[in-house]
Structure 1
Amino acid sequence: MSVAGPHDGSYAWSLEWSGVDPSAAVWWLTILGIVGLLLFDYVFHVRRAHVPSLREASVWSALYVGVALLFGVGVWWFGGSGPGAEYFAGYVTEKALSVDNLFVFLVIMSSFKVPRAEQQKVLLIGITLSLVARTAFILVGAALINLFAWVFYLFGLILLVTAGNLLKPESEESHAPDNVLIRFARRHLRTTDVYNGDRMSTVVHGRRVLTPMPLVMIAIGGTDIMFALDSIPAIFGLTQNVYLVFTATAFSLLGLRQLYFLIDGLLDRLIYLAFGLAFILGFIGVKLILHALHENNVPFINNGRPVPVIEISTGLSLVVIIVVLLVTVLASLFSPKGVAQNAISAARRHALEYLVVERDPHVREEIFQRLLAEEAQLRKLPEKYVRRISDDEQLVALLRRAHDEHDRTREA
């Protein structure tokens, strides 16, 4: 894919996009800015364990999205419309994939019974590890593209396979945090199931042992590395400019912690998001294969000569991505099935948090009040969903246990 030509040169520090990376100064300023935003989060947001309010999560999510959009405007202004469109297409795609990944993070948090107040630190460290890993993947991907033109065929096939997998129904058990690193840590390291705030270790019976915190971080970091195997080929299908790939990926990860707390209550409701992402990844996969054919030098395809095919422009890609995401998100939010699924999942999650995760009395009471509101919403659902809930013996028993526990706590 060719990128837009350089700007007219009226700015001394113009980014010069015609196959040439921005200057070293621009690279370093960008890296320092991204590192600065991460450090700001570490120092001012997660140093003190707390549950972000809706207002706090909204303000900071909007701030990070605003920074990413302003950066894209700068790319468009100094680099031209071509790189600008490539950046925005990459950013929107990566952000959408990140939102889908949040559901898996939620499953991991529930599996490890991470207290709500401690989840911020887990997420931020996981995001940091992910940013480092994805940077390495970006460099490897760029090197492969420069050396082998057939890599575009491989990336395209990866995205088509991933799109197909997204259409398969998945249960929460399929995302259970049981990878090789977790099994190794549990087998060879001294660990406990008891948390000590957000500390990595604690003392049990006079012995220093690891709390579940480092295991959760390993699970989230390892899972996100697996996500990178899909997202990095996707963004290389939209632009091969390493600077744009890096910045779009980095800005999509920044603010993901705040977004987690902002849309936590909506994650289960986005029931059609996977279909939208499958379409987008399939679309980019086709785009990559068409580009590979256009640049073909593989001997057994057209005798090693380029194949005259139509290439999909970045502008069209950006429009398709935005329209598909809008349609799938709106369809999810206004779908009766989405409302029902969200209410059922939220009630189950908050009942578990009340019973086995949280120990702070004030936090537990807040969770129980949310549970009451969700149960009221469940009773207002259409009859077929109410019957489905009544037939779910495990859910009914879980809700009953939560009420019994709350009654005992009040009597005590």
Structure 2
Amino acid sequence: MTTNVSLNVWLITILVIGGLLAFDFFFHVRKAHEPTLREAAIWSAIYVGLAILFGVVLWVVGGHGMGVDYFQGYILEKALSVDNLFVFVVIIASFSVPRADQQKVLLFGIVFALFARAAFIFLGMAIIDNFTWAFYVFGLILIITAGRLLAPEKEGDDEANNFIIRLAKRFLRTTDHYDGDKLFTIENGRRVLTPMLLVMIAIGGTDILFALDSIPAIYGVTDNVYIVFTATAFSLMGLRQLFFLIDGLLDRLVYLKYGLAIILGFIGVKLILEAMHTNQFSWINDGKPLNVYTFDPYTSLGIIVGVLTVTVVASIVSPKGKMLSAVKSVQRHAHAYLNTAYHADESDRQLHFDKMLASETSLMKFPEDKVQAMMEETGADREVEKARALHAESTD
């Protein structure tokens, strides 16, 4: 599982990744500010460059097999990480996190995700080493996950009010008001939790759920735990900067989830085929390997890159994709406006309402009947109606 990777290499790798995270905190996040587009673009490019450079070194030192497996894993995990940003956007909007403090929330999410996925990586390694049926289970998990991605979104889902948050608000002293980026503050002479801590709990909870899908997926690419760990770690590095770089473009990637569903389904089938090809179950073909087709690493890499390219390009150029992204933008701002508890002041709420109106205006360039049908299908029309009614009450 660790294929020619010494303990010293592991230690150096962990120190480098830890050093990059520490650098990110002390030089960018510690002082609250909103990154400029230029800053986000430069540092996003640097982190992607470091990931590619690491892959090239691994290719040269470890051979073509390790290099191809790493790039497969990195591209897959990067795509899944970008998909995670959609949920982060909803959580951050629901808690109305001040723009300057969003960096700290995102960095916490990245660090927690790294720890959660590292735990699942080594748990997955132990399962694969000790149970011959592991790949069958991983494959089924990925196929089910792919189906869940294709299922319609349920109206009323609200990541900001999940079970953990409800428990925290019920049994712990909390406040609905921010105090800069502090996790605790003093209110009425008592020490209380701020929404900043609650939003971190919400993001931490989603990180665990994402890890449950992410780790079986990358083990479908390679069973080398060093490659699994480094590909996962480098895919998360720079995700904070990427958030600010493509913040306004996230709604345009409307077909990304379909691409991810295809990829996860493909990897799930690939895992099951490989399990059948190395069959060890006595009750299947008398314990003999089955003569089934398996995908080589180069074919798998081509399929992953090809599907992601098609879905991203389709999201950007498709008229339906453009209309759906505009509808999603309207819905996101209406959702943020309706979550009234954590707004710092009325001007903050008004900003979300104004953005909702601006997004509605952008829908006028599309056919009215198609816009109305899509608004009803996504539930955006109901959220907008609620936001308008609430705004009318507050301005009377």
TM over 0.5: yes
Counterpart selection for 1:194 from 151, 163, 177: 177
Partner residue, 1:244: 227
Counterpart selection for 1:203 from 173, 178, 186: 186
Q: CA-to-partner distance for each residue in 1:238-282, whole Å, 9 max, x for gaps? A: 001111000000011111111122222222222211111111011
Partner residue, 1:377: 362
> Residues 389 and 300 (structure 1 numbering): CA distance in 2 closer, same or farther, change over 3 Å?
closer
Flag structure 1 segments of 5+ consecutive residues without an equivalent. Answer: 1-17
User: 1:130-169 maps to which residues of 2 (within 5 A)?
Assistant: 130-169=113-152
Counterpart selection for 1:182 from 165, 182, 185: 165
User: 1:9-408 maps to which residues of 2 (within 5 A)?
Assistant: 20-171=3-154, 173-350=156-333, 357=343, 359=345, 374-385=359-370, 387=372, 392=381, 394-395=383-384, 398=387
- Give the Å deviation of 1:41: 1.1
8 Å CA contact 1:164, 1:278 repeated in 2: yes
Counterpart of 2:125, as a letter, is A
Instruction: Give the TM-score normalised by the residue count of structure 1.
Output: 0.86
CA distance in 1, matches of 2:141, 2:179: 42
Flag structure 2 segments of 5+ consecutive residues without an equivalent. Answer: none
> Residues 375 and 158 (structure 1 numbering): CA distance in 2 closer, same or farther, change over 3 Å?
closer
- Give the Å deviation of 1:221: 1.0
Counterpart of 2:205, as a letter, is G
8 Å CA contact 1:58, 1:262 repeated in 2: yes
Q: CA-to-partner distance for each residue in 1:155-212, whole Å, 9 max, x for gaps? A: 1111111111111011463352344432332222101111111100111111110001
8 Å CA contact 1:150, 1:296 repeated in 2: no
- Give the Å deviation of 1:310: 2.1
Question: 163-172 or 395-404: which moved more?
Answer: 395-404
- Give the Å deviation of 1:375: 4.7
CA distance in 1, matches of 2:375, 2:141: 42
CA distance in 2, matches of 1:174, 1:56: 34
Counterpart of 2:96, as a letter, is K
CA distance in 2, matches of 1:53, 1:366: 20
State the SS of the aligned residue for 2:157: helix
> Residues 387 and 165 (structure 1 numbering): CA distance in 2 closer, same or farther, change over 3 Å?
closer
Question: 243-252 or 58-67: which moved more?
Answer: 58-67
- Give the Å deviation of 1:218: 1.2
CA distance in 2, matches of 1:399, 1:60: 39
CA distance in 1, matches of 2:112, 2:278: 35
Counterpart of 1:395, as a letter, is V
8 Å CA contact 2:334, 2:383 repeated in 1: no
Q: CA-to-partner distance for each residue in 1:281-340, whole Å, 9 max, x for gaps? A: 111111111111111112221122221222211110000000000111111111222222
- Give the Å deviation of 1:214: 1.4
Counterpart of 2:365, as a letter, is K
CA distance in 2, matches of 1:262, 1:55: 8
> Residues 172 and 262 (structure 1 numbering): CA distance in 2 closer, same or farther, change over 3 Å?
farther
Q: CA-to-partner distance for each residue in 1:62-84, whole Å, 9 max, x for gaps? A: 11111111111111111111111
Partner residue, 1:9: none
Counterpart of 2:107, as a letter, is L
- Give the Å deviation of 1:346: 2.6
Counterpart of 1:317, as a letter, is S
State the SS of the aligned residue for 1:202: strand
State the SS of the aligned residue for 1:177: helix
CA distance in 1, matches of 2:98, 2:369: 34
- Give the Å deviation of 1:140: 1.0
Aligned length: 389
8 Å CA contact 1:21, 1:242 repeated in 2: no
Q: CA-to-partner distance for each residue in 1:359-398, whole Å, 9 max, x for gaps? A: 597x889878866754542332333355569983652674
- Give the Å deviation of 1:147: 1.5
Instruction: Give the TM-score normalised by the residue count of structure 2.
Output: 0.89
CA distance in 1, matches of 2:250, 2:361: 20
